[in-house]
Amino acid sequence: MKQLWGGRFDSDPASLAMNYAESIEADSRMVAEDIWGSEAHAIMLARQEIITEEELRQILKYLELAREEFAQGTRTLKRELEDVHMNVETVLIEGAGKEYGGKLHTARSRNDQVIVDSKLHLRTRLLDVADALAQLRGVLLERATNHTEDVMPGYTHTQHAQPITVGFWLSAYASALARDHERLQGAFNRANTSPLGACALAGTSFPTDRRLVAKLLGFDRVHEHALDLIGARDFVAEALSAMAILMSTLSKLAQETVLYSTYEFRMVELDDAFAFGSSIMPQKKNACLAELARARAGNVFGRLMQVLTMIKGTPIGYNRDVQEDKPPLWEALDCTEATVLVLAGVVSTLELKLERMRELAGANFSTATELANCLVRDHGRPFRESHEIVGNIVGQLCKEGKNFNDVERTGELLREHGIELARDELAAVVDPERVVRAQRSLGSTNPREVQRMIADLSRTLDRDANWSAAARQRIAAAQTHTREIVQRIIEGGSLAECRL
Ligand code: ARG
């Protein structure tokens, strides 16, 4: 098939060549975006009197036809036309002839066009990920609120460290995910700039209005420097990096779900709807979703590495290398959104085994630090010395197969170090519930502090959800604005009657 760019060629590309170069699959997600971008461009061309209003009308009419046919599936992207841009332009040229359809590409290049399409699509998909994330954050906070008093072991090195509350544990993820949201928002903001009008790399000698195009497409502002923007894919790397970091947070949550649902821990139990069985072992109830989530962090890291490697060392200006940004970007967006949603399902239905958590919190010396603190506070011992004393006592109790629950024996051992502690007082010092309530520093596991932080995180979540809703609204308003102009022109109206 003769290519629209084929003037200087004596033959069409070999099918081997076209099969290697075409980007139809990745581009198929950007058909509506390509049409919207073309409408905005054509409106601007007419407004600047670079094309006539009649030419605009013909162009918009066939863009409308393209929109309908691609949406209904009566027309699909043709591989032999290389990409979405050539496919859409071909509809115009077939319909309106070169006389009209052939004018759309004035003062535009596929180089700036493809960035418009990607950014328009990325914007919405990043909001989808942010909204899914808001759902997970909401689930974590809601569950955390109900367990600000229930104790569980807190771990360092996956060894019992100090008692914490279940609300503290769950809200820790809500706290981390709030930062992950900020990174998505940052990626959105930096992607939300208009490249159209950079043309191939150097701008154009036509009197274009880049700001008008940016406005019609709902971009925050124009990305001005044509040479910089045309090969820049840092917005892709940044979105992937935000998603990679988010996936790393999710992989920790996934890992804890796997671990805590084992027989050895038994601190949580998966809901049947979010667990899988074995084809041979009838007793199995596997945390497959959490395992897949843990593994799929690797998929997204890989996509980030793929894009960074693609960008690296490319000379400034457009290089065909950058066509390869879309498959990894789409894949990472799909994978991240699905992982967030599936973990929201897992966490919202997870049974928390509070008794078991309480038992473990008291079983393995997690209150030892507080006992050492008590020797400092009430018995005038320097911390290093009290650490040594409590360490000795723990060592001795271990040898005897006992723990702090044997208050009698613990008191005796303290006495050997010259420390008198009344039985009740000692029982209180090694009681996990009392220990969590004794914490008083900013950000600690103290139930009141946890409630305060949950309230704070809930406010942050509301603010983030409002941001996303407002961003969607701006996009929808820009879309409606463009649609209204398109309708009016197609119906025979003139640009002068349009609000621009
Ligand atoms: N499919 C190309 C891409 O994704 C579109 C731009 C092609 N530009 C060119 N000069 N061949 O980057």
| CATH of residue 118 | 1.20.200.10
Same domain, 55 and 25: yes
Among 41, 24, 42, CA closest to 87:
24
* Domain identity same for 124 and 90: no
Q: Is the CB of 318 under 6 A from ligand 1?
A: yes
In angstroms, what is the span from residue 320 Cα to ligand 1's centroid? Answer: 6
Instruction: Report yes or no on 436 lying in a domain.
Output: no
Running DSSP on this structure, what letter comes out for residue 29?
G
Does residue 23 sit in the same domain as residue 150? no
The residue type at 98: K
State the total domains in the chain: 3
* Domain of residue 51, CATH code: 1.10.275.10
118 CB near ligand 1 (under 6 Å): no
The closest-lying atom of ligand 1 relative to the alpha carbon of residue 325 is: 4
Regarding whether 170 and 25 lie in a shared domain, the answer is: no
Q: CA–CA separation, 249 vs 163, rounded Å?
A: 22
Is 113 near ligand 1, meaning CB less than 6 Å away?
A: no
Alpha-carbon span 272 to 289, nearest angstrom: 12
Q: 């066509």: which residue's tokens? A: 323
Q: What is the DSSP secondary structure assignment for residue 127, as one 8-state letter?
A: H
pLDDT at 2: 86
- On whether the CB atoms of residues 251 and 293 are closer than 8 A, the answer is yes
3-state secondary structure (DSSP) of residue 497: helix
* pLDDT tens series, the chain, 500 aa: 789 999 999 999 999 999 999 999 999 999 999 999 999 999 999 999 999 999 999 999 999 999 999 999 999 999 999 999 999 999 999 999 999 999 999 999 999 999 999 999 999 999 999 999 999 999 999 999 999 999 999 999 999 999 999 999 999 999 999 999 999 999 999 999 999 999 999 999 999 999 999 999 999 999 999 999 999 999 999 999 999 999 999 999 999 999 999 999 999 999 999 999 999 999 999 999 999 999 999 999 999 999 999 999 999 999 999 999 999 999 999 999 999 999 999 999 999 999 999 999 999 999 999 999 999 999 999 999 999 999 999 999 999 999 999 999 999 999 999 999 999 999 999 999 999 999 999 999 999 999 999 999 999 999 999 999 999 999 999 999 999 999 999 999 999 999 99
Distance from C-alpha of 462 to C-alpha of 165, rounded to nearest angstrom: 24
Q: How far is the CA of 112 from the centre of ligand 1 (A)?
A: 9
Give the Å distance between the CA of 14 and the centre of ligand 1. Answer: 18
Tell me if 459 sits within 8 A of 17, measured CB to CB.
Answer: no
Instruction: Indicate the angle between helix axes 288-311 and 234-260, nearest 10 degrees.
Output: 160
For the entire predicted model, the pTM comes to 0.97
Structure tokens at 391: 């360490």
Closest CA to 326 of 25, 111, 92: 25
Q: 415 with 283, same domain?
A: no
Residue 264 in any domain: the answer is yes
**Would residue 439 count as lying in a domain?**
no
User: DSSP E strands: which ranges in 358-448?
Assistant: none
d(CA 198, CA 224): 8
Task: Verify whether ligand 1 is closer than 6 Å to residue 84 (CB atom).
Answer: no
CB count within 10 Å of CB 107 equals 21
Residue type present at position 279? S
User: Per the domain annotation, does 386 fall within a domain?
Assistant: yes
Q: How far is residue 197's CA from residue 225's CA, in Å, rounded to a whole number?
A: 10
> Are 385 and 260 members of one domain?
no
Question: Do 290 and 216 share a structural domain?
Answer: yes
Give CA–CA dist 39/62, Å, rounded: 10
186 shares a domain with 59: no
268: β partners: 352
| 173 and 305 part of one domain | yes
CA distance 270 to 284: 12
Residues with active-site annotation: 157, 278
The reply to whether 284 and 312 lie within a common domain is: yes
Instruction: Tell me: do 335 and 461 sit in the same domain.
Output: yes
Domain interval for residue 323: 112-190+204-360+453-474
Q: What is the pLDDT of residues 260-274, one digit of tens each?
A: 999 999 999 999 999
> Is the residue at 481 inside a domain?
no
Pair (336, 216) in one structural domain? yes
